[in-house]
């Protein structure tokens, strides 16, 4: 794949070097980051061969996964031609998160637990696949917890009770049990409740253009599937349901199935993070 991309880069920079199209890129081109971009007159946009949803003004979003390769290809077609942009992605030094004292069954699930885990993954994947056209995300994001202490960052390699597990797919915000959890932006609830094995009680909100946020380990949720929420609305309360050693919110973010650091949502709309390609 890397060789293919290297050849593609050389080939396309030769063929398309004269076909400049003004593109604004907002965000940090680094692993685990959300990127907001705008290309006027764009008809179709592809990122790594996947077509993205593009608004009438040419705005679109994509994320660079935790392990995104150092060279990624952005393709933009206008009525006249196809433009190819190789993007150089900075690597990120992910930390190692050692967590001890987790209930052994939550580290080595039984067969019955594994069937529940399959259902959890299906429900979550379905909730993350909703795709409202309204770009609620354009109104910006806030932190979902007041005075939450970061107790686990996105991307960390997790060692739970001494066993190497999957990297952390969100960020953890520790706060007293029962503290309110807020919708970080406007949107539509696509999953609520669950008592799932890992994520416990959860709320998922769709913010449009396949961008969703996840709020896990809740003591309770106060919204239901289909509800429209506004940024700052209370959607539930801090708890420790699922796999958790203490009360905290696991805040996750996903676009087009790619998980990214939710803190990068806070940069949306901030021109300080924008530059032209
Ligand atoms: Zn977490």
Q: Ligand 1 centroid vs 171 CA: distance in angstroms? A: 5
H helix intervals, the chain? 2-16, 111-128
Do residues 117 and 125 lie in contact, with contact meaning Cβ atoms separated by under 8 Å? no
pLDDT tens digits, 127-136: 999 878 899 9
Alpha carbon distance 134, 124 (integer Å) = 21
Q: Ligand 1 centroid vs 101 CA: distance in angstroms? A: 15
Q: Ligand 1 centroid vs 271 CA: distance in angstroms? A: 30
Q: Ligand 1 centroid vs 22 CA: distance in angstroms? A: 38
- Judged against a pLDDT cut of 80, whether residue 15 lies above it is answered with no
136: tokens are: 């609620």
Alpha carbon distance 159, 144 (integer Å) = 26
Q: Ligand 1 centroid vs 217 CA: distance in angstroms? A: 9
Strand partners, 218: 201
Alpha carbon distance 198, 217 (integer Å) = 8
Q: Ligand 1 centroid vs 172 CA: distance in angstroms? A: 5
Strand partners, 181: 236
Angle among Cα 145, 149, 155 to the nearest 5 degrees reads 95
The neighbourhood of ligand 1, an ion, using CB within 5 A, equals 172, 250
Q: Ligand 1 centroid vs 244 CA: distance in angstroms? A: 8
Over range 227-241, report the average pLDDT. 98
Q: Ligand 1 centroid vs 251 CA: distance in angstroms? A: 7
Q: Ligand 1 centroid vs 199 CA: distance in angstroms? A: 8
Spell out a b/e string for 31-66, using b for 16 or more CB atoms within 10 Å of the CB, else e: bbbbbbbbbeebeebbbbeeebbbeeebbbbbbbbb
Residue in the block written with tokens 């991307």: 155
Q: Ligand 1 centroid vs 34 CA: distance in angstroms? A: 19
Over range 262-266, report the average pLDDT. 97
pLDDT band at 21 (very low <50, low <70, confident <90, very high): confident
Half-sphere exposure of 275 (CA within 13 A, CB side): 5
Distance of CA 94 to the CA centre of its chain: 16
- Judged against a pLDDT cut of 90, whether residue 12 lies above it is answered with no
Arithmetic mean of pLDDT over the chain = 90
Q: Ligand 1 centroid vs 276 CA: distance in angstroms? A: 34
Q: Ligand 1 centroid vs 8 CA: distance in angstroms? A: 37
**Domains along the chain with CATH numbers:** 2-92 (2.60.40), 99-266 (2.70.70.10)
Do residues 72 and 89 lie in contact, with contact meaning Cβ atoms separated by under 8 Å? yes
pLDDT tens digits, 149-158: 999 999 999 8
Strands 187-196, 200-206: pairing kind: antiparallel
Q: What is the pLDDT of residue 20?
A: 66
Alpha carbon distance 89, 247 (integer Å) = 35
**Between these two residues, 270 and 219, which has the higher pLDDT value?**
219
Alpha carbon distance 145, 234 (integer Å) = 10
Q: Ligand 1 centroid vs 194 CA: distance in angstroms? A: 17
Q: Ligand 1 centroid vs 170 CA: distance in angstroms? A: 5
Alpha carbon distance 6, 208 (integer Å) = 33
Do residues 98 and 151 lie in contact, with contact meaning Cβ atoms separated by under 8 Å? no
Do residues 242 and 252 lie in contact, with contact meaning Cβ atoms separated by under 8 Å? no
Alpha carbon distance 18, 4 (integer Å) = 22
């Amino acid at each position: 794949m890397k060789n293919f991309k290297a050849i593609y880069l050389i080939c396309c920079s030769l063929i398309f070097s004269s076909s400049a199209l003004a593109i604004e890129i907002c965000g940090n081109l680094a692993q685990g980051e959300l990127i907001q971009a705008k290309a006027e007159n764009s008809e179709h946009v592809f990122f790594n061969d996947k077509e993205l949803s593009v608004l009438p003004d040419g705005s679109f979003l994509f994320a660079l996964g935790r392990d995104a390769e150092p060279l990624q290809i952005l393709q933009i077609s206008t009525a006249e031609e196809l433009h190819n942009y190789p993007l150089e992605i900075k690597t990120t030094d992910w930390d190692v998160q050692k967590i001890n004292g987790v209930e052994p069954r939550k580290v080595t699930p039984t067969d019955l637990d594994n069937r529940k885990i399959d259902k959890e993954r299906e429900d979550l994947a379905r909730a993350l696949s909703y795709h409202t056209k309204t770009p609620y995300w354009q109104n910006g994001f806030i932190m979902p917890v007041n005075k939450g202490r970061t107790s686990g960052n996105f991307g960390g390699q997790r060692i739970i009770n001494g066993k190497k597990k999957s990297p952390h797919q969100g960020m953890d915000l520790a706060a007293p049990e029962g503290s309110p959890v807020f919708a970080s932006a406007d949107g539509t609830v696509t999953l609520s409740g669950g008592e799932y094995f890992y994520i416990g009680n959860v709320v998922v909100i769709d913010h449009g253009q396949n961008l969703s946020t996840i709020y896990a380990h809740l003591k309770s949720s106060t919204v239901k599937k289909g509800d429209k929420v506004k940024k700052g609305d209370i959607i539930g309360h801090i708890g420790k349901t699922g796999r958790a050693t203490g009360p905290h919110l696991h805040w996750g973010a996903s676009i087009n199935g790619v998980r990214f650091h939710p803190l990068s949502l806070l940069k949306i709309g901030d021109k300080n993070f924008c530059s032209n390609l």
